[in-house]
Amino acid sequence: MPSRKKLSPSSEDYLETVLELSESTDAVRSVDIASHLGVSKASVTKAMGILREAQLIDQAHYGQIHLTAAGRRRADDVKNRHVMIKRFLIEILGIDEETAEQDACKMEHAICPTTREKWFDWLHQVLDNA
Amino acid sequence: MPSRKKLSPSSEDYLETVLELSESTDAVRSVDIASHLGVSKASVTKAMGILREAQLIDQAHYGQIHLTAAGRRRADDVKNRHVMIKRFLIEILGIDEETAEQDACKMEHAICPTTREKWFDWLHQVLDNA
DNA sequence: CTAAAATGTTAACCAAGGTTAACTTTTGTC
DNA sequence: GACAAAAGTTAACCTTGGTTAACATTTTAG
């Protein structure tokens, strides 16, 4: 039973950041999350407490941060929404990369699974027939 | 100089609700805003304080609520985003009305003016050639 | 016209998600 | 191996946007 409790937009952002940093460095540090999100170290500590509680990350006291299997799944889900929306903004609407990134960051928290799925299918159908 | 200070998502929701209720009843009451948004009367009082401060509504003590000219413009802006996104979700993606309404409510706060404009142009171009 | 019901306001409170500052632990350099 | 610098944690605090409960004002039915 994967714990499917809903995450706040803020928690989703932290989780997504852990995933992103995992991809390049593998040993994820609080300080890097903080600078990536433009937030204080103390905020990261708090947020990691929430993600640890939800069993989405493993982290020993004063230790490094690792996604659990469940955390990885959730993070992938957030990232997929993000990437999909950003592609829509850039490739369909012609928005510039920076604006698209900013708006995708916010929009990714606003869509329900149904919308994500239909949007995804539509986008790929349109892009494949281009 | 229209005061273009940014509104929080919450304030935008209240403003949009005032506009919607204005359209059918003209004498907008706190209690109707409260029930429309599923929020307590006290929350409405607080929120109206913010909108009054920003000169987006007129309201005498214990009085009814009216949009100012500036408030009307801002509310129209929010509503346009809402309607546009909802049309996209329903007419392009085929999302059901209720889900589209829910998601549009959240997405409307996430897009910047550039995105709104390009999305609007794209949508109308696509719908006109249908 | 008056009294009850409906509406509006205020005050005190709460939770979320930030902050800064002080402290603890870990790391890296000589 | 010691010790300074970097990283992480904790505690106390702030703001935002909600809440409930008590109170004030308006509206409306008799």
The model's pLDDT over A4-19, given as tens digits with 9 standing for 90+, comes to 789 999 999 999 999 9
The pair of structure tokens assigned to A111 is 């869509």
Prediction pTM value: 0.94
What secondary structure, in 3-state letters, does chain B show? CCCCCCCCHHHHHHHHHHHHHHHHCCCECHHHHHHHHCCCHHHHHHHHHHHHHCCCEECCCCCCEEECHHHHHHHHHHHHHHHHHHHHHHHHCCCCHHHHHHHHHHHCCCCCHHHHHHHHHHHHHHHHCC
Per-residue pLDDT of chain B (130 residues; tens, 9 = 90+): 556 789 999 999 999 999 999 999 878 999 999 999 999 999 999 999 999 999 999 999 999 999 999 999 999 999 999 999 999 999 999 999 999 999 999 999 999 999 999 999 999 999 998 7
Q: Is the pLDDT of residue A44 over 60?
A: yes
Q: Is the pLDDT of residue A92 over 70?
A: yes
Average pLDDT, rounded, for chain A: 96
CA–CA gap between residue B17 and residue B74 (Å, rounded): 12
The pair of structure tokens assigned to A27 is 């040993």
Q: Does B113 touch chain A (CB under 8 A)?
A: no
Q: How many CB atoms lie within 10 A of CB B6?
A: 6
Which residues of chain B does A114 touch, with a Cβ-Cβ cutoff of 8 Å? 95-96, 99
Q: Which residues have C-beta within 8 Å of that of residue B102, sequence separation ≥ 6?
A: A112
Q: Which residues have C-beta within 8 Å of that of residue B8, sequence separation ≥ 6?
A: none
Q: Which nucleotides of C are covered by protein (CB under 7 A)?
A: 6-12, 16-22, 25-26
Which residues of chain B does A10 touch, with a Cβ-Cβ cutoff of 8 Å? none
CA–CA gap between residue A129 and residue A122 (Å, rounded): 11
Question: What confidence tier does A3 reach under pLDDT thresholds 50, 70, 90?
Answer: low
Rounded CA–C1' distance between B56 and D21, in angstroms = 30
Residues A106-111 have a mean pLDDT of: 98
**Is the Cβ–Cβ distance between A113 and A78 less than 8 Å?**
no
The pair of structure tokens assigned to A51 is 């993600």
Looking at residue A38, what is its pLDDT? 98
Q: Indicate yes or no: strand D within 7 A of the C-beta of A17.
A: no
Q: Does A122 touch chain B (CB under 8 A)?
A: yes
Q: Is A72 exposed, middle or buried (0-12, 13-18, 19+ CB in 10 A)?
A: middle
Rounded CA–C1' distance between B119 and D23, in angstroms = 49
The C-alpha of B70 sits at a distance from chain A's nearest C-alpha, in angstroms, of 25
Write the residue in B94, B111, B112 that is nearest to A118 by C-beta: B94
- Do strands B66-67 and A66-67 pair parallel, antiparallel, or not at all (unpaired)? unpaired
Please name which of A56, A86, A95, A18 lies closest in space to residue B122, comparing C-alpha atoms. Answer: A95
Residues with CB under 7 A from strand C: A 8-11, 13, 38-43, 46-47, 50, 61-62; B 29-32, 34, 41-42, 44-46, 48, 59, 61-64
Instruction: Check CB contact under 8 Å for B112 and A103.
Output: yes
Q: How far is CA B30 from CA B39, B42, B48, B65, in A?
A: 10, 9, 9, 8
Q: How far is CA A63 from CA A45, A58, A60, B74, in A?
A: 11, 9, 5, 48
CA–CA gap between residue A33 and residue A79 (Å, rounded): 16
- The tens digit of pLDDT for each residue in A51-73 reads 999 999 999 999 999 999 999 99
Looking at residue B2, what is its pLDDT? 56
Rounded CA–C1' distance between B129 and C17, in angstroms = 46
Looking at residue B5, what is its pLDDT? 83
Q: Is the pLDDT of residue A27 over 80?
A: yes
Angle in degrees, CA A108, A39, B4, rounded to 5: 65
Q: Is the pLDDT of residue A123 over 60?
A: yes
Residue found under tokens 């990437």: A83
CA–CA gap between residue B125 and residue B95 (Å, rounded): 20
